[in-house]
Structure 1
Amino acid sequence: MRGRLPSSVRFGGAVGADLHHDVRPSRSSTFSAVPGFVILARGFAVDVARSSGWNDDFALGLLVSELATNSIQAKASLFTVTVFEPYEDQSGRYLMFEVADDCPTVPAPKQRMPEVVEGQVPSENGRGLPLVDALSESWHAEKREHGKTICVTLKEEHQAAARSRTLSIRPTPSVA
């Protein structure tokens, strides 16, 4: 199923081919697009998901942080995080969330992790969407009337496997 929404689910503006039920937003909150609010957005999403019975918040917290940071770097003035009610179908248990902002630039769907070259300071940018791709069951970007929305689906069992993957990110020495 990777790369698309389950066919029985309506999520944000995307509709699967065979609509059997709606996935309803649990809660939504809007934040100022400044660095100090990233941790608040992450905490909000994790708290809402836990209160809805979602137990595995590793990928959720990381991806909300990445997407909120992307909103800030895109010069958005505000960003909104919406967490949907978890649901189950024959293929597993899912949690969906959106991060929307007022920046109209929609990111490319497939991006590669930036290369790390021995002896060079790696770029601080370019890891967010490859992380979204690696840790989510599916994701997509939608252009909206007043900006864009990144819609992400997490699969509960997928998250546990994602933690054991080795991503191409290595700690780098500080440059003073």
Structure 2
Amino acid sequence: MGEMSMRATGWARSFPINGGIRAARSWAREHLDSLGWTTGAPETAGAVLLTVSELVTNAHLHAHSSANLVLTWDSRCLHVSVHDSSPVLPTPRTPDATTPNGRGLGLVDALADTWHTRRQTDGKTVVACFYPPGQPDPHACEPDGPQPDH
């Protein structure tokens, strides 16, 4: 029997608090271009770029930290991971009309196929997963795979 192997392609870069959001979007767009997503899956590429903006903004605004952005394509899902130095886990809030903040995680939840947060000794990482159109199972990219019903 042959072994099933998975190949992944990934890119990583750190974005400082001053001016990091626009640079992060531009950097992510270059890699989406290299994967063919900006032409082959423009709506998904747009959702990825908006998610990058929101997660990098959260790292800068709420964690007062640089944002370490990692994009990983494993032939099923594009994982967008943003690490910051704050141990405080993000919590979705219900935005109100008078406050411009509070919509970030709601957007990520609406845009990404799945997302989760991991605590780490030096902060946390938020990971959003996107699969291109035509993929049959959006839950195949959850961190531990689909969970069986008990």
The answer to whether the superposition gives a TM-score over 0.5 is yes
2:8–2:75 Cα contact (<8 Å) kept: no
- Counterpart position of 1:58: 46
* Paired AA for residue 30 in structure 1: S
Evaluate the alpha carbon distance shift between residue 66 and residue 21 of structure 1 in structure 2; reply closer, same or farther with a 3 A threshold: farther
Question: Which stretch of structure 1 is more off in the superposition, 132-141 or 56-65?
Answer: 56-65
**Is 1:71 the counterpart of 2:43 in the alignment?**
no
* Paired AA for residue 144 in structure 1: Q
**Selected match of 1:82 from 61, 64, 70:** 70
Structure 1 alignment gaps of length 5 or more: 1-19, 89-93, 117-121, 159-176
Displaced runs of 4 or more, over 4 A: 20-23
**Aligned-pair distance for 1:105?**
0.9
- Counterpart position of 1:151: 127
* Paired AA for residue 28 in structure 1: A
The percentage of counterpart residues that share the same residue type is 31
Q: How far apart, CA to CA, are the structure 1 residues paired with 2:129 and 2:66?
A: 22
Structure 2 alignment gaps of length 5 or more: 135-150
Q: How far apart, CA to CA, are the structure 2 residues paired with 1:99 and 1:21?
A: 26
Q: How far apart, CA to CA, are the structure 2 residues paired with 1:80 and 1:59?
A: 19
Q: How far apart, CA to CA, are the structure 2 residues paired with 1:131 and 1:23?
A: 30
**Structure 1 or 2: more strand by fraction:** 1
**Structure 1 or 2: more helix by fraction:** 2
- Counterpart position of 2:10: 26
**Aligned-pair distance for 1:50?**
1.9
Instruction: Return the TM-score normalized by structure 1.
Output: 0.64
Evaluate the alpha carbon distance shift between residue 49 and residue 75 of structure 1 in structure 2; reply closer, same or farther with a 3 A threshold: same
2:72–2:79 Cα contact (<8 Å) kept: yes
- Counterpart position of 1:99: 82
Instruction: Return the TM-score normalized by structure 2.
Output: 0.75
Q: 1:115-136: per-residue Cα shift (whole Å, max 9, x none)? A: 33xxxxx211110000000001
* Residues paired across the two proteins, number: 126
**Selected match of 2:118 from 142, 145, 151:** 142
